[in-house]
Amino acid sequence: MPRIRVITTVLAALCALATPSLAQDSYPASVVKLVVPAAPGSTTDTLARLVADQLQQRWGGKAVIVENIAGGAMNVGAERVARATPDGHTLLVAPPAPVSFSHLLYRELPYDPRQWVPVALLAKVSNVLVMRKDHPAGSIKDLIANAKANPGKLTYASQGAGSTAHLSASQLEMLAGIKMVHVPYRGAVPALNDILAGVVDMFFDTLTTSVPLYRGGRVKLIGVASAERAATVPEVPTIAEAGLPGFRSITWFALVAPPTTPAALAEKINRDVVASLQKPDIAEKLRALMLEPIPGSTADAAKFIAEEATLWGKVIKESNVTLQ
């Protein structure tokens, strides 16, 4: 009998070890949802749909869908994924805030960004400061002078409280010594619509969605927020060179899985995502969107996300940004 018990124990252990492998071999077993915590039409949404299409092809036609769950400064959609079964069938595609630093802004957040299982970095894009077309400011120096002459009157939009656009404007306030009024929206599209309508004065947007409006003469671009000028709009100076050295803001997008998702499963999905991003036709589509792919391992994603949390954590602390 003892010998039988030993054999049974060994077999049980072997089965336990084999289970994750078997689960990965059969993945995906059902519809995979890529949750975007913002409204349709945003850069995040566009990128998620491109990734979903590629993964569906790579996984033999098994359904991969994008589900938009907007609201709560992107925290509603993020919470939905955080509470999902960690089997790889519900994943989050998001810009920085819900992935890396929302816990630094909210006292009672229903999920912890530090517990995500990083799957892959997808792409990055420079942010740019967009002004409504009829605003008198034509440069960063003009904007700062205008804000100082009219304290508390200049308005800026964001995709929601705690978003990169919100923190970028907070960084601008901190470095320039000005105070503006924050007007949060539920995504980039409604924010841009109100810039076009003249309801708000400015918005830190991505090059992807703002350059076409700029080329069409519908908005002004007065400063690129990356360290170097953007090849797509070389005539627009960086905010750093225009008078605020050290200013930096980029938007990046990551794919993350619910807490406790097996590392081996995350790595499998990572390999498929990276292979998709490296296809020449996909790279070309990303360039058309002014996105730069940033493929790498799950470890690369974890390191990058941690570094960005540190960067924005400093802005949050020094600007005294706090949200309920």
User: CATH number of the domain that 215 lies in?
Assistant: 3.40.190.10
Distances (CA, A) of 117 to 9, 176, 238, 259, 312: 31, 37, 34, 6, 20
Q: Is residue 271 domain-shared with residue 244, that is, in the same domain?
A: no
For residue 185, tell me if it sits in a domain: yes
- The whole domain housing 102 covers 30-124+252-319
Q: Is residue 138 domain-shared with residue 243, that is, in the same domain?
A: yes
Number of domains in the chain: 2
How many residues can be counted in the chain?
A: 324
pLDDT digits (tens, 9 = 90+) for 202-242: 999 999 889 999 999 999 999 999 989 999 999 999 999 99
For residue 20, tell me if it sits in a domain: no
Q: Using CA atoms, how far apart are residues 208 and 259, in angstroms rounded to an integer?
A: 31
Q: Using CA atoms, how far apart are residues 168 and 129, in angstroms rounded to an integer?
A: 9
What does the pLDDT read at residue 324?
59
Q: Is residue 307 domain-shared with residue 278, that is, in the same domain?
A: yes
Q: Is residue 120 domain-shared with residue 158, that is, in the same domain?
A: no
Q: Using CA atoms, how far apart are residues 258 and 256, in angstroms rounded to an integer?
A: 7
Phi and psi of 311, rounded to 5°?
A: -60, -55
Q: Which of 213, 229, 250 is the last residue of a domain?
A: 250
Q: Is residue 146 domain-shared with residue 241, that is, in the same domain?
A: yes
What does the pLDDT read at residue 278?
93
User: What CATH number did the domain enclosing 261 receive?
Assistant: 3.40.190.150
CA 143 to chain centre: 27
Q: Is residue 246 domain-shared with residue 294, that is, in the same domain?
A: no
For residue 36, tell me if it sits in a domain: yes
Task: Identify the band that residue 292 occupies on the pLDDT scale cut at 50, 70 and 90.
Answer: very high
Q: For the ranges 34-38, 147-151, 195-199, 316-320, which has the lowest average pLDDT? A: 316-320
Other CB atoms within a 10 A radius of the CB of residue 23 amount to 16
Q: Is residue 120 domain-shared with residue 256, that is, in the same domain?
A: yes
pLDDT at 37 over 80: yes
Tell the residue number behind the tokens 């998001």, with chain if given: 94
For residue 2, tell me if it sits in a domain: no
Q: Is residue 269 domain-shared with residue 238, that is, in the same domain?
A: no
For residue 102, tell me if it sits in a domain: yes
Q: Using CA atoms, how far apart are residues 15 and 312, in angstroms rounded to an integer?
A: 44
Other CB atoms within a 10 A radius of the CB of residue 40 amount to 15
- C-alpha dihedral sign at 203, 207, 213, 218: positive
For residue 268, tell me if it sits in a domain: yes
For residue 12, tell me if it sits in a domain: no
Q: Is residue 264 domain-shared with residue 293, that is, in the same domain?
A: yes
Q: Which of 250, 268, 298 is the last residue of a domain?
A: 250
Other CB atoms within a 10 A radius of the CB of residue 278 amount to 11
pTM: 0.80
Q: Is residue 150 domain-shared with residue 239, that is, in the same domain?
A: yes
Query: What is the DSSP code (8-state) at residue 104?
Result: G
Q: Is residue 50 domain-shared with residue 38, that is, in the same domain?
A: yes
Q: Is residue 162 domain-shared with residue 243, that is, in the same domain?
A: yes
